[in-house]
Structure 1
Amino acid sequence: MAKKIIIAGGGTGGHIFPALAIANALKQLDPGVELLFVGARGRMEMEKVPQAGYPIKGLDIAGFNRSSLLKNIALPFKLIRSFFQVRRIFNDFAPDAAIGVGGYSSFPVLRLAQARGIPTFIHESNSFAGRANQMLGRKAAAIFVAGEGMQQFFPAEKLVLTGNPVRPGIVKTAGIPKGEALRFFGLQEGKPTVLAVGGSLGARSINEALAAGFQELADAGLQLIWQTGKTDAARWKQKADGSRGLWVGDFITQMEQAYAAADIVVSRAGAMAVAELCVVGRPVLFVPYPHAAEDHQTANARALVEQDAALMVPDAEAGARIVPELIALAKSPAKQEQLTRNIKKLGVTNADETIAQAILNRIANS
């Protein structure tokens, strides 16, 4: 009889892409497995999951709004409503296991599964675990983590060190000729190339620093691939209009080309970005988003900085430091080589398969 598994969570690419990678690995290992995603209505997963070919159910749920306390008035009612919605989903689908990847919908799904004695699994992508995952971890069958030191958040006997799943195309970056990748962005060979990424919505501090300093980068002999994100995309494109040695756009659909073209990367420090940069092995300057829950992006970046595998600039200092730091790094081949060597040691390419196999083994034995 086919096994049925619910995968719950989303909200950002950092949750959705690992979830899809795990789903694909489950299907590869057991083509008969039935998968159902559960997400939050109005969030990114409601679009991305169906595009990947999987069914998804949406919950009326939202997270705590830190910027406006008034917007949290309806939160308890939404949470209660989501539990009723999850109950209906469970009654209809009858899952054999539930996997939580983080995001608003993970909590009610895994909470109900645990109440019903259904095996639950958590994928914690960050170096600092969120409170919901910490609560759920006490009754989870296994907790898959990206790095060491997570016993401060979870029972040590339940931890499984797997790394973070990355998109399949990213693993193939090494096979893309650099010249081909540079031509993809209309840039020249022989010039140091910086890739700037700040997530799908963009990173204001990174964008403002580059808008003010891309001419300084050009004067230093660097060229730039600049993913601005959706927020104020037209403004950033207008700033860069007519400039040479520069590709600017709100989203890069083929990130493997961007990584192949880049000599240096400046990026936020979400878990997915960190995992991908470890796999492709590029010198990186992290600018962590300071308002992420529990400041987990700073924890993610610091874990690499402490191993001489990355550089970091606080968001508040981005305007003054990003461009000078990039120029200094471009002028130091020895530092680039050190960062590349150390970050590559942390790259994991088979995390999705490891997680999927552990889940299937546990279900088979339950």
Structure 2
Amino acid sequence: MRTMTAQERRPKRLILAAGGTGGHIWPALSFGAWINKKHPECDVRYICGSRPLEREIYAAAGAEPSVLPLDGSPLAGRGPAQKAARLRALSTSYGMASSLVRDFAPDAALVFGGYLSLPVIAACRRAGVRCALHEQNARAGKATRLAAKLGMEIYSGWSECDPLPKKKFIRAGVPVRDFALPARGEAWINLGLDGEAPDGPVVVAMTGSLGSRSVKDELCRAAQEEAFARWTFLFAAVSEKIESPSPNVRLLPKVWDAAQLYGLADMLVTRAGGSTLTEAAVLGIPALVVPWMKAADNHQYFNALAFAGENDGMIWTEDDGYEALVSALIKLKGIHDGKKKIAGGSGGRGGAICENLWSLLFPAF
């Protein structure tokens, strides 16, 4: 039997770099939370960008990341001035990331895609630190495609990572939060909703703000149909305060504790972010997926296809029209009636995803 070296016996140190949007950040935070629970000896450090939303998400999770002065990709700047400013920020971020890597001396780093990955990848390569990339989408982003060309390990959330050939990535799944779902009545109260929790079907819409007004309007229109009179439609993050424009519709502000929403949901209507779709999958909640067709590289449509191919889901786009939406909701109710939500929350399958990812990073431990 081989004797472990002093370096191998030392508690592990890991950098998790994720920024830009919640789609990148929540998987990193979920994996970090699992590590803190299962491998508390491991020292985890987070790196993020400078967008206010990024720090808001980390603060909501009780994490304190190191912040690089990046608020967007130099390739996506609005005009030459912003692109030049972002290039300068990228150079500064590389220097800061190099200092962080040098001072922390991690055993490994895991970046979660997007423009924030670039300075961290460069810093790790310069320092000789193993760096892998996690891709949450079924369509590889620019950073992922670059990492593949550099020969880095790519861990995909799905069975596809288009356009990479299967030999270029390993399917690991998307780390998700460890939800303990409350009972319906408890979740209704925790969200600050008046009256008693409904006993009919509850649809939770998590379509975000990007180009989603038409989705919200069509769902509100459907709520007025006789077929949905006993249904309740909850819309997350669409209002500054709780509003009730009609008896079976509730508009909610931003909800950080998604367990309350999932605890109420019989069905979801959601955009096709990799994290949210994986949460729906591990919780066993049927979902009507509405991909945002203007997403970079059309990755949301690829995510929707991957999800619907393996889970209880359907796809609807605004181009499909109102009647198709009504039909899809009714079919989704049939799927819901034929199954049960996963008891106990996301700990089972969600924990297996994190265990798999940990084993890929540290196969000997």
Q: TM-score range by the shorter chain?
A: 0.7 to 0.9
CA distance in 1, matches of 2:350, 2:121: 27
Q: Name stretches of at least 5 consecutive residues in structure 1 with no aligned partner.
A: 342-346
Retained in 1: the 8 A contact 2:31–2:176? no
Deviation at 1:304, TM superposition (A): 2.8
1:127 correspondence with 2:138: yes
CA distance in 2, matches of 1:152, 1:339: 34
Q: Name stretches of at least 5 consecutive residues in structure 2 with no aligned partner.
A: 1-9, 342-347
- Corresponding residue SS for 2:147: helix
1:108 correspondence with 2:119: yes
- Which of 27, 38, 56 aligns to 2:65? It is 56
Deviation at 1:355, TM superposition (A): 1.1
- Corresponding residue SS for 1:103: coil
- Corresponding residue SS for 1:7: strand
- Corresponding residue SS for 2:272: coil
- Corresponding residue SS for 2:67: strand
RMSD: 3.2
Moved more, 50-59 or 62-71: 62-71
AA aligned to 2:172 is T
Deviation at 1:4, TM superposition (A): 2.4
1:86 correspondence with 2:97: yes
CA distance in 1, matches of 2:163, 2:140: 9
1:167 correspondence with 2:171: no
- Which of 14, 25, 31 aligns to 1:16? It is 25
- Over 3 Å counting, the alpha-carbon distance change for 1:127 and 1:41 in structure 2 is same
The alignment's TM-score, normalised by the length of structure 1, stands at 0.81
- Over 3 Å counting, the alpha-carbon distance change for 1:286 and 1:358 in structure 2 is same
- Which of 299, 307, 311 aligns to 2:302? It is 299
Q: What residue is the counterpart of 1:359 in the other structure?
A: 361
The alignment's TM-score, normalised by the length of structure 2, stands at 0.81
CA distance in 2, matches of 1:72, 1:154: 32
- Which of 270, 273, 277 aligns to 1:270? It is 273
How far does the alpha carbon of each residue in 1:176-225 deviate from its partner, in whole angstroms, 9 at most, with x for none? Answer: 44454456544554322211111377833322323444333786432111
Matches within 5 A, 1:334-353: 335-337=335-337, 348-350=349-351, 351-353=353-355
- Over 3 Å counting, the alpha-carbon distance change for 1:55 and 1:278 in structure 2 is same
- Over 3 Å counting, the alpha-carbon distance change for 1:272 and 1:322 in structure 2 is farther
Deviation at 1:308, TM superposition (A): 6.9
**Whose RCO is larger (CA < 8 A, sep 6+)?**
1
Matches within 5 A, 1:1-366: 1-61=10-70, 62-64=72-74, 66=76, 68-70=78-80, 71-139=82-150, 142-150=153-161, 152-153=163-164, 156=167, 159-169=169-179, 172-173=180-181, 176-181=182-187, 185=193, 186=195, 188-199=197-208, 203-216=212-225, 220-229=229-238, 233-234=239-240, 240-241=244-245, 243-307=246-310, 309-317=312-320, 320-321=322-323, 323-325=325-327, 327-329=329-331, 333=334, 335-337=335-337, 348-350=349-351, 351-361=353-363
Retained in 1: the 8 A contact 2:48–2:54? yes
CA distance in 2, matches of 1:102, 1:168: 22
CA distance in 2, matches of 1:53, 1:192: 34
Retained in 1: the 8 A contact 2:222–2:326? no
- Over 3 Å counting, the alpha-carbon distance change for 1:224 and 1:300 in structure 2 is same
Percent identity reads 26
- Corresponding residue SS for 2:262: helix
Q: What residue is the counterpart of 1:344 in the other structure?
A: none
CA distance in 2, matches of 1:253, 1:277: 16
CA distance in 2, matches of 1:225, 1:214: 11
